[in-house]
Amino acid sequence: MENTRSLYFFLFIALALAYVSAPAASDGSGLKTSVGLDVVGQAGLNSTSGASDRLDVREFEVMLYAPADHLFDGMGSIAAHYEGTGIPQVELHEAYLGSSKLIPRSRFRAGQYFLGIGRLNQVHRHDWPFISAPKVHKEFFDAEALLDTGIEYSYLLPIPHFLEVTAGVTNGFVYGHDHSAGSRPLVPTNYLRTVTYFSLPWDGGTQIGLNYLGRRGGEGTQRTILGVDLTAKWKEGALLNFLLQSEIWYRVLTPKGGTTQKAFGLYLYPQYYLGENLFLGLRVDYYSVLNLTDAFGSPVKSVELNFVPTVTYRPSEFSSIRLAYNLKPEFQGGASTTGHHLELQGVIVLGAHPAHDF
Amino acid sequence: MTFSKRLWFLALSVFTIQAYASSPVKVVTSTTDLAWAVKEIGGAHVEVQSLLKGTENPHFVDAIPEFIRLVSEAQAVVIVGLDLEIGWMPKVLTRSGNAQVQPGGKGYCEAGRAVHVLEKPTGDVDRSMGDVHPSGNPHFWLSPKAFAQAAGPIAQTLIAVDPAHTADYQVGARRFTELMEEIRKKNAAKLHSLIASISGPVLMEYHKEFAYFLETYGLRSFGSVEEKPGVAPSAGRLAEVALAAKGAGVRFVLAGETAPKKTLEKFTELSAMPVAVVPMSVQPHAKVKDYPAFQEYLVDTVAKQLGSRTL
What pLDDT score does A40 carry?
96
Check CB contact under 8 Å for A100 and B95: yes
ipTM over 0.85 threshold: yes
Interchain pair B86, A355: CB under 8 A: yes
Q: How confident is the model at residue B13 (pLDDT cuts 50, 70, 90)?
A: low
Give A28→chain B minimum CA distance, Å: 13
Contact B96 A103 (CB under 8 A): no
Closest residue of chain B to A205, computed from CA coordinates: B64
Tell me the H-state helices in chain A: 2-24, 135-140
Are B62 and A197 inside 8 Å of each other by CB? no
Which residue(s) pair with A347 in the sheet? A38, A320
pLDDT at B253 over 60: yes
Q: What is the pLDDT along chain A (358 residues), one digit of tens a residue?
A: 555 666 566 666 666 666 555 555 556 788 999 999 999 999 999 999 999 999 999 999 999 999 999 999 999 999 998 877 778 889 999 999 999 999 999 999 999 999 999 999 999 999 999 999 999 999 999 999 999 999 999 999 999 999 999 999 999 999 988 888 899 999 999 999 999 999 999 889 999 999 999 999 999 999 999 999 999 999 887 789 999 999 999 999 999 999 999 999 999 999 999 988 999 999 999 999 999 988 888 999 999 999 999 999 999 889 999 999 999 999 998 899 999 999 999 999 999 888 888 9
- Residue B68 sits at the chain A interface (C-beta within 8 Å): yes
| Residue B310's pLDDT band (cuts 50, 70, 90) | very low
pLDDT digits (tens, 9 = 90+) for B92-138: 999 999 999 999 999 999 999 999 999 998 888 888 888 888 899 99
The whole model's pTM is what?
A: 0.90
Q: pLDDT at residue B17 above 60? A: no
Query: In this structure, are residues A100 and B94 in contact, taking their beta carbons and an 8 Å threshold?
Result: yes
Indicate whether B311 pLDDT > 50: no
If we measure between CA atoms, which residue out of B258, B299, B298, B253 comes closest to residue B272?
Answer: B253
Nearest CA in chain A to B97: A105
- CA-nearest residue to B229 within chain A is A316
Which H/E stretch holds residue B108? strand B108-110
DSSP A125: G
Q: Is residue B206 scored above 90 in pLDDT? A: yes
- Cβ partners under 8 Å of residue B168, min gap 6: B42, B43, B45
- Say what the pLDDT of residue A276 is: 82
Across the beta sheet with B252-256, what order do the strands follow? B221-224, B203-205, B252-256, B275-278
The beta strand positions in chain A, using DSSP E, are 32-44, 55-67, 73-82, 88-99, 106-114, 147-156, 163-170, 187-200, 204-216, 222-236, 239-254, 261-275, 278-289, 302-316, 319-332, 335-351
Supply the mean pLDDT for chain B.
91
How far, in Å, CA of A21 to CA of A31, rounded? 6
Q: Which of these, A295, A245, A246, A281, lies nearest to A266 by C-alpha position?
A: A246
Q: Tell me whether residues A237 and B258 touch, CB distance under 8 A.
A: yes
Q: Does B56 touch chain A (CB under 8 A)?
A: yes
From the list A66, A355, A39, the residue with the least C-alpha distance to B60 is A355
Q: How many CA atoms lie within 13 A of A16 on its CB side?
A: 7
* Subunit contact A155:B98, Cβ cutoff 8 A: no
Residue type, A327: L
Q: Residue B48 and residue B25: Cα distance in Å, rounded?
A: 8
Q: What is the pLDDT of residues B161-187, one digit of tens each?
A: 999 999 999 999 999 999 999 999 999
Helix (H) or strand (E) run with residue B213 in it:
helix B211-217
Looking at residue A63, what is its pLDDT? 95
Rounded CA separation A67/A354 (Å)? 13
